Amino acid sequence: MSDSTTSRRLATILVADVDGYSRLMRADEERTLGDLRAHLAELVAPVVERFRGRIVKTVGDGVLVEFGSAIEAVRSAVELQRGMVARNQGLPAERRQTFRIGLHLGDIIVSDDDVFGDTVNVASRLEGLAAPGSIVLSASVYEQVRDKLALPFRSQGPRTLKNIDRPIRTYSVDAAALSPDGARPPPRTKVPKRRVTFAGAAVALALAIGGGLAYVVDRGLLDNAGAITRPAAEAGLSVAVLMFTNQSGDAAQDYFSDGLTEDITRALGRFKELTVISYNAVLPFRGKELPLGEIGRALSARYIVSGSVRRMGQRVRVTVQLSDATNSTQLWSEQYDDELSDIFAVQERIARRVAGTLASSLQQIALQQALRKPTDNLDAYDMLLRARALAADPTRSTNRMAREMLERVTQMAPGYADAFAELADIYFQRATFGWSEFAQQDVETAIRLSQKALEIDPDSVLAHSVLARAYTSVLKYDLGLAESERALQLNPSDAEVMLARAAVLLWTGRIDESIATAEAAMRLNVSIGPEASLNLGLAYLLAGRYGDAVRLLEAQRTRYPAYPLLELPLAAAYAELGRTADAQEAVEQARLKNPHFDLASFGSRFQDPALQRRVEESLRKAGVN
């Protein structure tokens, strides 16, 4: 293989073959081969060309196709499956050919117009997992299309594939959802904004699932709904978002409540700790007055989110409740009011706030459940949750205990990306909180562990967030910004992601943006940690918002009395407000916690030295020298 004909590029590979082809060939070789050739020429080739793909080769009953776009690849797969259903209509059973399709996105080697590498191998293995008429795709493809294609994706969890050295997270689109009857949405009313079509999209999806959903509704809603739910719902944090009720008195406004429901479902789905029942699985329960326990059992959902939308002139009010389906107990509720200057911006803003707050509440529930379990019977996930609970109340001893637990988790489950990301966060805390004699080495360890987590799972939000903070701490600002942007792309509703972004913005001198991002995070989760509190306190100080700095830091030093740095920006804010006695008291507390404090190095992480000097001047006013 010569260098002149070999190259690499990123691509989505589609592999399809005919289910039961050997059986068909045994029955009638010539007719089967003729039918296959007709399918390839009359359906496959035109569809691939329309979606800008390239047929690399056909082998026996299979075809391998390369696409530059994951979205185009999935659209092509859907059209192929729907086209085969249409072509089989009217044919006797012994002549019907049905494709199984697998898709994977990754780096490929291209040589003399052929393609090679793990990406091709994974796509081929995924095709082998597909049921007749269905599509199986890897997480790398799913993450590219999940918010862009209105398809009922169903999680199949991580799967171990032959000759592939790591588990691959997989998703499927089942044959029932690929009926040609649902291939085209109904005509749309022309509107100024594209997202106004949520109601139409919901109807189209219901039609696409065809008889499946109709059977659920007409032949026993509760007995049969489990057939269309996600199989991983046995996990403790399985949640279903019921269709929000439109209380505006105008059925034409259903699109807003439907769109809000779908947006919240998608936003929650970005939190990997949660198993979120698909939007389409919940559709049959619209308007049904059923006990929450029965709905939860039908959907295999432990928690139920419900809500209502009421428009009042140019304002909208959204009410949301979170309930435990096992005992019908309401756990949390919130009300959101907003101006309707841009209805779609409002929809997105409310969805993110709801999803972020719900996720924080559910994760806290998971921590409490883990802590109630016997300590002598722990698996890797429960041990990780215990370590996370320890890290939430940071002291030198809890940091050490969490570190030891997470080291054990990485040994118990070496393919568990979250464990490496959590351990990276613990090492970074250890370095930045002053609990290590080898701070630089601990930051390097945090970077290495985050990178390990990303090797296992490139979409680990926590790993990207830790890298963002760690790179910034070693003055690699561009890398820090890039990692924080990537984390935010993966989950814009995660409060911890937003706080990591706020930290990077602070140290790179974008003070107002840092404050806005941190305050948005606090609207999702008021319980921010001491590091985030320190960062926001410094940002308030630099913005001249001394009263805000005092209110925040007074509350947080009470909550985190062992954290060694909160008194410093608090003392500086007191001094700027002329509260000399309070400033002196805060300085004394800081000296007790930091007997070796070095003013010259405090704030050295700022990219702009002028910001460090401004903090230093305020601290000198407070009596620090």
For the cut 90, the answer to whether the pLDDT of residue 615 exceeds it is yes
- Give the single-character DSSP code of 244: P
299 neighbors 277 (Cβ within 8 angstroms): yes
Buried b (16+ CB within 10 A) or exposed e, 495-516: bbbbbbbbbbbbbbebbebbbe
For the cut 80, the answer to whether the pLDDT of residue 259 exceeds it is no
Confidence of residue 426 (pLDDT cuts 50, 70, 90): very high
pLDDT, residue 377, reads 41
Q: What's the average model confidence in pLDDT over 587-601? A: 82
For the cut 80, the answer to whether the pLDDT of residue 486 exceeds it is yes
Helix/strand/coil for 207: helix
Helix/strand/coil for 363: helix
Pick from 170, 234, 278, 274: nearest CA to 491: 274
For the cut 60, the answer to whether the pLDDT of residue 199 exceeds it is no
Pick from 241, 237, 98: nearest CA to 174: 98
pLDDT, residue 218, reads 30
Instruction: Report pLDDT digits (tens) over 383-424.
Output: 887 788 778 777 888 889 999 989 988 888 888 888 899 999
Residue 110 carries which side chain, given as an amino acid letter?
A: V
d(CA 103, CA 136): 6
What residue spans of 227-374 are helical by DSSP H? Answer: 254-269, 279-282, 292-299, 343-371
Structure pTM? Answer: 0.51
Instruction: Report pLDDT digits (tens) over 335-351.
Output: 877 776 666 666 677 77
Lowest mean pLDDT among 12-21, 304-313, 395-404: 304-313
Lowest mean pLDDT among 112-121, 190-199, 396-405, 605-614: 190-199
Buried b (16+ CB within 10 A) or exposed e, 125-151: bbbebbeebbbbbbbbbbbbbeeeebb
| Residues forming a β-bridge with 238 | 275
pLDDT, residue 353, reads 72
Helix/strand/coil for 1: coil
For the cut 50, the answer to whether the pLDDT of residue 229 exceeds it is no
User: Domains of the chain (ranges plus CATH)?
Assistant: 3-176 (3.30.70.1230), 194-355 (3.40.50.10610), 373-492 (1.25.40.10), 509-625 (1.25.40.10)
Q: What's the average model confidence in pLDDT over 435-451? A: 90
pLDDT, residue 245, reads 86
For the cut 80, the answer to whether the pLDDT of residue 586 exceeds it is yes
Confidence of residue 240 (pLDDT cuts 50, 70, 90): confident
- Give the single-character DSSP code of 193: S
